[in-house]
């Protein structure tokens, strides 16, 4: 149903001649009041989905006694590793990473969408001009009509349809801001993990290089003893096999190190040839584990903030869908000049203007509006479930890495004892072999055990650093809107 009122303006306006316009507005107001009585109610203000969290992490008791004085995770959480090279790489990654650039562009698009939504609440003003040529009703006399007019229209947002769109766009903007923060946090964590893995590969290579030197000396010693007739050719073959196998492992470790450096270059947004990280063959020490409450996690994690913002956007869309049951009220106005002569167009006799009010309410649509509302409500339920799942996943990640870091710390202590025992066994075997009381097979076995024990110790240290970095990432991520 549409009610439209258009009144041509007299050439000389007066209060008396404005009475029809005022009457039109009164009639429209009456219709608005009547139709408002049958309109449905707007949705309630958005409330974050309920998601109870425990008072403390289940695995936090593993650290509470030893680390009670450890402060909360800093924003630059990777600095806890005290590695200047890592700190410098983190500075570069936030500038050059292409994934972050993509998320920044997405944020800019969300900000523009919000501006578009806000603009819909304002009047639309335009200018039109035209020249029409034709003939009179008899078809014998040519006629010309020139026009120049200013047009304006404005939808009265009495039911909040446009405001709901703005609210939804605002929430989507907040979600994009949180997405950018989450992407930045993810890239920083990936850089940290890749860097630590590269240093682990270097440490493995350094260990294998030392072993190759030691095995080379052992081969020379065994070859000399064979030439002297003290040992058999079997000892020489065993020493050669051990040396060559270790050299193969060294090549593999150097290859892994090169590939990890290439991965660093990609994260930095640079070609592999442009990145050359100096070798140190040293893994940083694992920092202490900060103590944090689960409730703080909800305040800091950007992925949780993004999920909450998307639920808020879905709630606003429910309101927008419900306003389809309300009448749409619009005001329009135009004024200008119309006349046959272009040179005398802007003249008082050629002046025209009009004011209009329209009220539109759909009476029958086959259930389309209700279906749209039901769809919006289902999307809200989905967003709420996604939010709760995000919180549960965040809690699980922290619990998993709390357990992992605690277990790996214990493993590190035990493996250190095993390594000392393996080194002692190798020393004894070498002395016995030089004394001629045992065969070279005993030395090979002791050397293999010692190398395996030291490689295992490095692997445990690398896994502990990886778990610690992941835990710091899971606990970190404080973000600010607009960063």
Structure confidence by residue, pLDDT tens digits, 73-121: 778 889 989 999 999 999 999 898 898 899 889 889 988 988 988 888 8
Token pair of 2 as six digits: 């549409």
Between CA 322 and CA 324 the distance in angstroms is 5
Q: How far apart are CA 179 and CA 93, in angstroms?
A: 17
Give 422's pLDDT tier (boundaries 50, 70, 90).
Answer: very high
The length of the chain is 483
Give which of 388, 373, 371 is closest to 303, Cα–Cα.
388
Do the beta carbons of residue 380 and residue 313 sit within 8 Å? no
- CA 16 vs. chain centroid, Å, equals 63
Q: Which of 51-60, 120-129, 202-211 has the lowest mean pLDDT?
A: 51-60
Residues 6 or more apart from 233 whose CB is under 8 A from it?
226
pLDDT digit string (tens) for 160-171? 888 888 888 999
- The whole-angstrom separation of Cα 218 and Cα 231 is 13
Q: How far apart are CA 464 and CA 118, in angstroms?
A: 50
Predicted confidence at residue 60, as pLDDT, reads 60
What pLDDT sits at residue 6?
37
352-390 pLDDT, tens digit per residue, is 888 888 888 888 888 888 998 999 999 999 999 999 999
Q: What is the DSSP letter of 74?
A: P
Is pLDDT of 212 > 90? yes
Cβ–Cβ under 8 Å, residues 166 and 320: no
DSSP track, 444-470: HHHHHHHHHHHHHHHHHHHHHHHHHHH
Say which range, 55-69, 218-232, 443-457, 467-481, has the weakest mean pLDDT: 55-69
The three-point CA angle 8-120-332 to 5° equals: 5
Residue that wins the pLDDT comparison between 475 and 254: 254
Predicted pLDDT of residue 15 = 43
| pTM listed for this prediction | 0.78
pLDDT the model gives residue 11? 38
pLDDT grade for 26, boundaries at 50, 70 and 90: low
Going across the sheet that includes 328-339, the strands are: 2-4, 351-360, 328-339, 142-156, 124-135
> What value does the mean pLDDT of the chain take?
82
The stretch 56-71 carries a mean pLDDT of: 52
The token duo for 241 is 């096999």
- The rounded distance, in Å, linking the Cα atoms of 475 and 65 is 19
DSSP label of 298: H
């Amino acid at each position: 149903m549409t009610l439209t009122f258009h009144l041509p303006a007299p050439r000389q306006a007066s209060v008396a001649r404005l009475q029809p316009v005022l009457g039109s507005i009164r009639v429209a107001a009456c219709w608005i009041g009547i139709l408002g009585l049958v309109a449905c109610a707007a949705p309630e203000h958005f409330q974050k989905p309920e998601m109870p969290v425990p008072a403390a992490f289940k695995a936090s008791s593993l650290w509470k006694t030893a680390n009670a004085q450890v402060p909360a995770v800093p924003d630059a959480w990777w600095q806890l590793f005290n590695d200047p090279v890592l700190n410098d790489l983190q500075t570069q990654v936030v500038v050059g990473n292409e994934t972050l650039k993509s998320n920044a562009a997405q944020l800019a698009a969300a900000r523009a969408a919000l501006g578009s939504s806000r603009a819909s609440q304002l009047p639309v003003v335009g200018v039109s001009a035209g020249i029409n040529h034709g003939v009179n009703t008899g078809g014998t006399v040519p006629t010309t009509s020139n026009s120049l007019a200013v047009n304006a229209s404005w939808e009265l947002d009495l039911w909040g349809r446009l405001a709901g769109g703005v609210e939804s766009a605002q929430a989507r903007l907040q979600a994009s801001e949180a997405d950018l923060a989450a992407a930045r946090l993810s890239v920083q964590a990936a850089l940290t993990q890749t860097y630590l893995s590269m240093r682990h590969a270097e440490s493995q290579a350094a260990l294998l290089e030392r072993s190759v030197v030691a095995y080379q000396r052992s081969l020379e010693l065994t070859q000399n003893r064979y030439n002297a007739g003290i040992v058999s050719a079997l000892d020489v073959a065993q020493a050669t096999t051990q040396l060559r196998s270790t050299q193969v492992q060294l090549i593999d470790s150097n290859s892994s190190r090169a590939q990890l450096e290439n991965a660093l270059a990609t994260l930095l947004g640079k070609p592999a040839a442009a990145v050359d990280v100096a070798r140190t063959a040293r893994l940083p020490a694992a920092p202490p584990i900060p103590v944090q409450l689960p409730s703080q996690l909800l305040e800091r994690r950007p992925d949780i903030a993004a999920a909450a913002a998307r639920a808020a956007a879905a709630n606003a869309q429910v309101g927008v869908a419900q306003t389809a049951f309300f009448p749409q009220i619009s005001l329009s106005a135009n004024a200008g000049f119309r006349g046959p002569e272009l040179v005398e167009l802007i003249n008082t006799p050629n002046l025209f203007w009009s004011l209009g009010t329209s009220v539109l309410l759909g009476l029958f649509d086959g259930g389309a509006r209700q279906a749209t509302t039901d769809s919006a409500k289902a999307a809200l339920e989905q967003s709420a479930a996604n939010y709760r799942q995000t919180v549960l996943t965040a809690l699980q990640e922290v619990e998993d890495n709390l357990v992992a870091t605690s277990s790996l710390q214990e493993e590190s202590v035990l493996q250190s004892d095993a390594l000392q025992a393996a080194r002692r066994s190798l020393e004894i075997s070498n002395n016995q072999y030089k004394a001629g009381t045992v065969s070279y097979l005993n030395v090979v076995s002791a050397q293999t055990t010692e190398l395996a024990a030291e490689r295992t110790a490095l692997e445990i240290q690398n896994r502990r650093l990886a778990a610690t970095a992941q835990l710091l990432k899971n606990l970190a991520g404080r973000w600010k809107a607009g960063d």
